[in-house]
Structure 1
Amino acid sequence: MNGSTATLYGPEEEEMTTLHGNQGYRGVNPTSPSNFDFHFQDIPSPRPRVPFRAGHTASPRYSPPEYASQGWLQPTPRTSDVPEAWANSPYDSRSTSPTLYQNTPVQQSAQSLAPLVNTPASPGFSKEWVQTGASSIARINDRDDAEIWKGWKRWIFFLTPFLTFGNTAIYLFYLGLRIYCIIQAQNAAGISYAGAWVFVAIEIAVAIPSLMHNCWTMLALKKRGRAKLRLTGNDCPTVDVFVTCCGEDDEVVLDTVRATLDQDYPQDRFRVIVLDDAKSATLEDSVNQLSAIHPNMYYMAREKIPGKPHHFKAGNLNYGLDQVHNLPGGAGQFMAALDADMIPEQEWLRAVLPHLLVEPKMALACPPQLFYNTPASDPLAQSLDFFVHVIEPIKDALSVAWCTGSGYVVRREALEEIGNFPLGSLAEDVATSTLMLGKGWKTAYIHEPLQFGTVPEDFGGHLKQRTRWAIGTVDTAFKLKFCIWGDAVRQMTFAQRFSGFLYATLSLYTLLLTASLFAIPIILLWGKQLVAYANQDELHWLIWACFAATLSNRLCEFALFIPAGYNTGQRGSRYQLWMSPYIAICIVRSFMLPKWLGGQTQAFKPTGSLGSTLNERDPKTRKNLFVRLRVILFNYMALFHFAFVYVTLVAVVISSYRCFAVASGFKGVVICLITHAFWPPLTFLFICTSLWTPVSYAIDPPSMPEREDLLTRDPKTGVAHPTTKSKKIAFGGQAAWFELQYTVATVATILIFVYSFFW
């Protein structure tokens, strides 16, 4: 997953061959029983080696292996190049690469790093603090997220699995009661309540994602016990850090590079390698200047032949993995990667690497992607806070941590076993960690704020990013048979298989959710009774069950959202609704439409011609209201959202008018209203306010300061890190408005519940 502003990885990648089921992953041995059954049909010839462009010329001693007839890249054993010292490497990445940085051999044994140091180390961890001499691993805290959230919040979150179980049971009882009452009403009246059946079907459709998540959340009973560790000393493992970029602004990339070079890690034990897929001459010059000061700085740019697949970010990373063999000393024992805009904290490597060193089967460790340019209220739900603070820790407790695309450190041996980064997917990060789990490796999620990047600053960029993630997840799931069976997932546990199945299914579920949204204004305009019952007692039970389900759901949400923040969780719920049509359209185009009808695997692309960007978050250069509305409503297809909200509200008004015109007495009007449009918790209100998000964003986009104003920069070194304030999402007017809407719906549910005792 990539938080970079270049959300499709690079503009020139859009002309690439589209991805279909006939493409596969590169690098798996065809004689292995764990092969996939799909291959490349048009396999490119080995890429020519190009010289490095930072004053370091590549040695020609290593040539890429030939492709086998089956379509897989055959890893060539390099035993002749492996010195004796490699087998005794204290960090034991067991890579087939030769030991690198041979002028600084590691003295320590592997066993000396396994035991944790019991005495806590200093919390400062500045470069001046790092001890000289032998390395060790300090245990800073029993929990890696101890400083993120603590106190009473932990006690309440501990109740989440139990609250979730209770909420699920109550809701299933409520749905069962609804269906029972419809059947009873039909038997008593001798007519069909079609409107009631459609309404309950919509309720079930909208509830399915929550119910599936509830099943996953209940697994949080398994406590997560990952400690906060630090690697101390200077005898550290060697690491090749790749900074992948493709067309981002030079200053954005250079801020990431400078912060990476400023790691509190021995300079002779890590390299920073810019993998530039855009071949920017100005970026190359800037890296050359840095390399004059930092001997561990390199620039690489692969040759991309028009008409041949370049395989997006995965191809760029694999190119870097091949080329580091030509650097002095060969490849590193570990590989790390950063997106172009992700600024790492100074202790990043020392915080992530220990989790790989203490566990020989740990293939990959990844911290969360956090952001410093998220606007107040986060109107488009770009922050990922619910995923990184709630979902990922639960997955990590169940040994299903994902590689989320930036900030991760990976063991070279594990990469080589799966044939390096898999090709043919828009989500190479998720595919990589999934394949590693399928081979019996472990992955870890390090719940510390160790990197901060930027979210897309325009509406179109956000759509491209999120639809690319969804398509990549589904595409990977198809190729891995939804992690249910097959050689590629043979060694996965039940929880790992369930996770892979769940998140792919949730992306596909947007098809059903979008279809159900179309039905809401139709049934309201239809004017039929939405809640059927045979007698007044049944209506009472329906209202009471609905009240219990609504209140238990609110309580469950409050507990579940605590690590990320209540408002963040609510934003995520609204996001699933308004984003569903975009994801559904891309899934249909990617996996259902034939090529001659426009089918192709790609992220969302605007219709028509968009001559210039909207600059909607820059108060000085943003386009006027008319242009913003025209582009977002028509080019970005938010006209569907506008029409849905307009028609639904008109239908509610018409339905309400009918009740006042037909029903008699206060009680009759109230019962008519709640059974025809206002059934608690006023679902149409939540859906309308959620679907209105793109329109409200076009009307009143958030204003953001210049990126430089969000950073604190060292005037001498140029190293910049986000300010404390920019790392947090401010509470804004939109968050207050949605909370008001939630409060109104909850109060209405309570009032209806109370009033039901008086008729």
Structure 2
Amino acid sequence: MNMPEKHQFVVEQTDDLLPLSSERQRQRRVLAEASWRPLTLATWLLQATLVYQLSQNIQHARRGTRTLVPILFVCWQIILLATGALEEGWRFCISGKVKQRRKTRLVGDQVPFVDIIIVCCGEELDVILDTVRAACAQDYPGAQLRVLVADDGNDDLLEGSITALGKTSPCQLLYHRRPGKAGSKKGYKAGNMNSALVYADSVHTGNPVEFCAFLDCDMIVERDFLRACLGHLILEPNAGVVIVPQSFYNLPRNDPLYQSMHVHNWLDQVQHDTLDSTWETGPGVVFRRQAISNMDGFDEWVLMEDVIAGMLLNGLGWKTDYCYEQLQWGLIPDDLAAHIAQRKKWVVGTVRGAMIAAFGFHRTRMAQLSWRQRTVQVCYCIGPYVSAIHRTLLPLAFLLLMASKEPLVVSSHPIQLDRMLHIGFLIGICYRAQSMVTGYHCGYRMARRRTQGAIWLSPYLLVTIIKEFLPKCLAGLPMRFVPTGRLNSNLQERNSGLRATVWRRLIVMIIQQGLWYHLLVGTSAVSLLYRDYMSAQTHASRGDMCQHIWTHALAPGVDWLVYVDLLAPIMYALLPPIVSPRRELLEQTVVSGLETWHPAQSRRVEEWSASFWFEECPWIVAYAVCVYLRTKTCTT
């Protein structure tokens, strides 16, 4: 890695430590950091102890009582423990407190020349122009700023609008389209970005441009976006990119599908930054051009060029810095089908990125990773596979075990069963405590939403992963890059005036959008639970009934609540949220004669209603039933 030349730019830092928080929030975060590790280790230890107890019981059981099902149940528990450890283990690389950064700004008129490249491909004209105006209205000397709209949609109307806007823009504004058919050009978004860089260099005179920013066409940036990011890049010559959190202004109340990136922004990314392994998560980034050259531009095969770009930079010795400020506001997909398509695109990008990085062990591309960075990359690369096993295959396997009607637990003595039941109950308590501790960092409701979203999305992602490895004759059409702004369905379920009827929504979402799987698995879980309850009622004595309950449906280590989370999109289909038209979510301002639109203050925070807490009722009821059965019905 070649270090850039030093410049005489002025950068100021305040005493404010980011992310900003009150004294109470800081105390809660300190408590969370202190308690998460012992709590997680205790959970894993309890799970391992349960596996040991189950295995011992099988070994000591009489030959006539040994069946395959208890052995498979032990294997199920082992895989559950292993996948959980693989998902969360990287966080143990953090020693001490997480990193905090000072608020940083590049000040004065002596600033470097910067390109802002806005990539688009057929999105709505108004959306693109709002982003362009915000980019042109940066608090930055106009002579040192150039905005380039890179259009893969071949939109003549957009080209005319950019030409007209360029006459009043305080900075240079350019339009560029590369050859090819709209929407199907080589390399998709990454190809557009590479082409835009080549074009920008071809029309630039003077010294080479040292910095460039990339924005998606639906991301409206704050006026100090450039000064904030460049401040970090100038202070740290070995930083190749600065990443800004992605925030959204059209999130629905209660965020029922978990479309926010709040937990990722304020928990995962902060911890990644502490390990010098921040993910480059797409729009709202400022690169050092030399870093892009070192990695030979953006990979055009991976489908999602962002995270792999950050991984490659780390592997080449560059730092990826995280700016702990909300400086950009974008749009999430406004319907279920678009949300699913977006996440499927992300998982394909992860799978292909893992191949490029050789799962973090590529000899040349990952040669300069520290052991902490390599650990983060390995966990990221195996993440889709681990999640598919943990959240799709294991719940299905458990239902198959239940369908066998055989006991899951072989217990030779009531005391042993009691011990295992207590361990299982403590595991459940620890899981809930972990959710609450995570909530101290980023909000309990958001933490619960992410867990729920990962569960119901997992079946779609599993199928996508399988298709990625199948030959074309079996996989069908390959996954293509479709810009998020063009992903939509005709249900318009969040538009109160135009949404389809509830019956049409249910039919389309269940049959065409894949919710039949969630309905089938959820119904199967309820049926098996009810069947087992009725089987327990056939026993003559209360002791035999309780023995049946604790060795079948409510065996230690079992979690039926995962099937409740699986039904979240069904509830969404029945009661979708309402979101106002986009323009009503924005406020108009005028900067240097340029009309700009930014999100209203009320749209800069997540909205929650009291109805969210009704979703917590299932686990409260479940634990209450277990306690009642244990203390009142099944007492010895």
**Common fold: TM-score over 0.5:** yes
Shift of the alpha carbon at 1:561? 3.0
Instruction: Sort the Cα spacing of 1:272 and 1:611 in 2 relative to 1 into closer, same or farther, 3 A.
Output: closer
Pick from 600, 615, 640 the counterpart of residue 517 of structure 2. 640
Shift of the alpha carbon at 1:136? 1.9
**Counterpart secondary structure, 1:509:** helix
Match of 1:129 in 2: none
**Counterpart secondary structure, 1:227:** strand
Amino acid at match of 1:704: V
Instruction: Sort the Cα spacing of 1:708 and 1:512 in 2 relative to 1 into closer, same or farther, 3 A.
Output: same
**Paired residues for 1:659-674 under 5 Å:** 659-665=536-542, 667-674=543-550
Does 2:444 correspond to 1:569? no
Amino acid at match of 1:195: V
Instruction: Sort the Cα spacing of 1:379 and 1:559 in 2 relative to 1 into closer, same or farther, 3 A.
Output: same
Match of 1:139 in 2: 13
**Counterpart secondary structure, 2:320:** strand
Q: Which range moves more in the overlay, 490-499 or 739-748? A: 739-748
Q: Encode CA deviations 1:348-400: one digit per residue, 9 max, x unaligned.
A: 11111111111111101101111111111211111121111111111111111
Pick from 386, 402, 409 the counterpart of residue 524 of structure 1. 402
> Aligned partners of 1:276 and 1:691: how far apart in 2?
39
Pick from 211, 214, 231 the counterpart of residue 88 of structure 2. 214
Instruction: Sort the Cα spacing of 1:512 and 1:485 in 2 relative to 1 into closer, same or farther, 3 A.
Output: same
Instruction: Using the aligned pairs only, state the percent identity.
Output: 28
Pick from 272, 279, 288 the counterpart of residue 402 of structure 1. 279
Amino acid at match of 1:548: L
Does 2:568 correspond to 1:690? no
> Aligned partners of 2:533 and 2:508: how far apart in 1?
34
**Paired residues for 1:263-412 under 5 Å:** 263-294=138-169, 295-304=171-180, 310-329=186-205, 331-412=208-289
> Aligned partners of 1:386 and 1:302: how far apart in 2?
37
Contact 1:141-1:229 at 8 Å conserved across structures: no
Pick from 172, 175, 198 the counterpart of residue 72 of structure 2. 198
Does 2:527 correspond to 1:653? no
Pick from 413, 417, 420 the counterpart of residue 535 of structure 1. 413
Shift of the alpha carbon at 1:681? 7.2
Shift of the alpha carbon at 1:655? 0.7
> Aligned partners of 1:397 and 1:372: how far apart in 2?
28
Q: Return the TM-score normalized by structure 1.
A: 0.78
Contact 1:543-1:756 at 8 Å conserved across structures: no
Amino acid at match of 1:355: H
> Aligned partners of 1:309 and 1:511: how far apart in 2?
32
**Counterpart secondary structure, 1:190:** helix
Pick from 439, 463, 468 the counterpart of residue 316 of structure 2. 439
Does 2:78 correspond to 1:179? no
Shift of the alpha carbon at 1:165? 2.6
Q: Encode CA deviations 1:437-469: one digit per residue, 9 max, x unaligned.
A: 111111111121111111101111111111111
Q: Encode CA deviations 1:119-160: one digit per residue, 9 max, x unaligned.
A: xxxxxxxxxxxxxxxx52221235321248833222222212
Match of 1:557 in 2: 435
Amino acid at match of 1:712: E
Pick from 464, 474, 479 the counterpart of residue 586 of structure 1. 464
> Aligned partners of 1:198 and 1:571: how far apart in 2?
31
Contact 2:243-2:322 at 8 Å conserved across structures: yes
Does 2:426 correspond to 1:548? yes
**Counterpart secondary structure, 1:528:** coil
Pick from 246, 262, 283 the counterpart of residue 137 of structure 2. 262
**Paired residues for 1:217-236 under 5 Å:** 217-223=91-97, 224-236=99-111
> Aligned partners of 1:384 and 1:563: how far apart in 2?
13
RMSD: 2.6
Match of 1:744 in 2: 621
Match of 2:292 in 1: 415
Q: Encode CA deviations 1:532-582: one digit per residue, 9 max, x unaligned.
A: 321111011112211222222222221123222111111111222211111
> Aligned partners of 1:561 and 1:719: how far apart in 2?
35
Match of 1:247 in 2: 122
Contact 2:335-2:489 at 8 Å conserved across structures: no
Instruction: Sort the Cα spacing of 1:663 and 1:367 in 2 relative to 1 into closer, same or farther, 3 A.
Output: farther
Match of 1:614 in 2: 491
Instruction: Sort the Cα spacing of 1:277 and 1:611 in 2 relative to 1 into closer, same or farther, 3 A.
Output: closer
> Aligned partners of 2:175 and 2:324: how far apart in 1?
31
Shift of the alpha carbon at 1:210? 2.8
Q: Encode CA deviations 1:66-109: one digit per residue, 9 max, x unaligned.
A: xxxxxxxxxxxxxxxxxxxxx9xxxx846xxxxxxxxxxxxxx6
Match of 1:631 in 2: 508
Amino acid at match of 2:410: A
Q: Encode CA deviations 1:238-271: one digit per residue, 9 max, x unaligned.
A: 1101111111111111111111122112222211
> Aligned partners of 2:611 and 2:72: how far apart in 1?
32
Shift of the alpha carbon at 1:199? 3.4
> Aligned partners of 1:169 and 1:329: how far apart in 2?
63
Q: Return the TM-score normalized by structure 2.
A: 0.92
List alignment gaps of at least 5 residues for structure 2: none
**Counterpart secondary structure, 1:702:** coil
Shift of the alpha carbon at 1:751? 4.7
> Aligned partners of 1:313 and 1:519: how far apart in 2?
39
Match of 1:472 in 2: 349
Instruction: Sort the Cα spacing of 1:611 and 1:474 in 2 relative to 1 into closer, same or farther, 3 A.
Output: closer
Instruction: Sort the Cα spacing of 1:147 and 1:603 in 2 relative to 1 into closer, same or farther, 3 A.
Output: farther
Amino acid at match of 2:446: T
**Counterpart secondary structure, 1:486:** coil
Contact 2:546-2:634 at 8 Å conserved across structures: no
Q: Encode CA deviations 1:279-304: one digit per residue, 9 max, x unaligned.
A: 21222222112100114211111111
Instruction: Sort the Cα spacing of 1:380 and 1:752 in 2 relative to 1 into closer, same or farther, 3 A.
Output: same
Contact 2:427-2:557 at 8 Å conserved across structures: no
> Aligned partners of 2:628 and 2:83: how far apart in 1?
28
Match of 2:606 in 1: 729
> Aligned partners of 1:750 and 1:281: how far apart in 2?
67
Match of 2:581 in 1: 706
Q: Encode CA deviations 1:419-454: one digit per residue, 9 max, x unaligned.
A: 111221112111211111111111111121111111
> Aligned partners of 1:211 and 1:755: how far apart in 2?
36
Contact 2:135-2:220 at 8 Å conserved across structures: yes
Shift of the alpha carbon at 1:616? 1.0
Instruction: Sort the Cα spacing of 1:352 and 1:396 in 2 relative to 1 into closer, same or farther, 3 A.
Output: same
**Counterpart secondary structure, 2:538:** helix
> Aligned partners of 2:223 and 2:629: how far apart in 1?
56
> Aligned partners of 1:324 and 1:629: how far apart in 2?
48
List alignment gaps of at least 5 residues for structure 1: 1-33, 35-86, 95-108, 113-134
Match of 1:19 in 2: none
Amino acid at match of 2:380: Y
Contact 2:238-2:319 at 8 Å conserved across structures: yes
Match of 1:22 in 2: none
> Aligned partners of 2:77 and 2:249: how far apart in 1?
37
Match of 2:552 in 1: 676
Shift of the alpha carbon at 1:174? 2.7
Contact 1:586-1:603 at 8 Å conserved across structures: no
| Number of matched pairs | 624
> Aligned partners of 2:234 and 2:183: how far apart in 1?
42
Instruction: Sort the Cα spacing of 1:401 and 1:300 in 2 relative to 1 into closer, same or farther, 3 A.
Output: same
Contact 1:165-1:218 at 8 Å conserved across structures: no
> Aligned partners of 2:400 and 2:481: how far apart in 1?
27
Match of 1:165 in 2: 41
> Aligned partners of 1:157 and 1:258: how far apart in 2?
41
Q: Encode CA deviations 1:143-182: one digit per residue, 9 max, x unaligned.
A: 3212488332222222123332333223322333233333
